[in-house]
Structure 1
Amino acid sequence: MVNRIKVVNDVGELVTIFHAADTDVKRKLLLDLSTGWITMPQIDEKYGVEGKKALLYLDKIKMVESQWITGDKGPEKAYHTYYTNIQINLIGSMPDLADIIYATTLTEKELEDYENKIKAMMVDGGVFIGTASENLNISQTLLKGIINRSSVLYLKGYRIEMENNV
């Protein structure tokens, strides 16, 4: 097995790391994915809808890799963790750290409220991060933390867009 290390250099990436295993299902799925290849039907059988959503989030934050394997019903896509270790190397200002901690501790309802407000701002499939930050009256660091935590939003350069599979 190849030893891959994810290096976290940006304080905003902490949100994705903290939320990779923030529920019991995500934690167990992440542990299963770190020990072998698992197909979507196996994830669905063991973890249900929450497991599928967790896998989509892990895929969004690039924590899993996939490959096609031959199963009982023909070719199936299987998933496995991409990294074996995480190294955190960063320096952040106190305001940035406060924003990241806040984004990390938002309730699911608060996160959904932010997602809905951001989606409402989207024109032609997206909105620029500066515009959204201004309209929401929050820092760009907090906004990036919210996007990193979201299962439905992602950053493409300086533009916030919707995930294609949502």
Structure 2
Amino acid sequence: MMMTTRLTRLAILTALACVLRLTFGAFPNVKPITALFFVLILAYSLADAIVVSSLTMLVTGFLMGFSVIILGQMISYALILSLGAFIFKWLKPMILRTLVVFVLTMFYGFIISIFSAQLFGSQFWPFWLSGLTFDLAHAVSTALFFPILATIFKNILKT
């Protein structure tokens, strides 16, 4: 019974993340899904957050265009979520966690640029620098969505 409950939860959360990613598709790098993945660490576990993030990249990849960059996204998310879970153990105030989420989301942009530059045959530093505005939009939106989603999940899990 417990495994069925967990699988159902993972499927529903993945569906939610996919819908959010597609719904916010018109806004480059402004999406609540990275914030959702960080909240899942707090609400459930690091493993659940990595599973949902990986499945989200895979499923939306089929809908938005599939390429090897999806593997880079999965690895990048696994790395920043792991770092976030490690740091969250010692940082309890929401403002500090939000700051960590901002920094790790910027780090995601750095990591994914390594994969993307390789994919497009570009040199890394110019590629990464040219995408900093997108990384900043991603980090700011994630930092704004994070406390909102954390509050929603906290309220849901209390009931």
Larger proportion of strand = 1
Q: Is this a same-fold pair by TM over 0.5?
A: no
Larger radius of gyration: 1
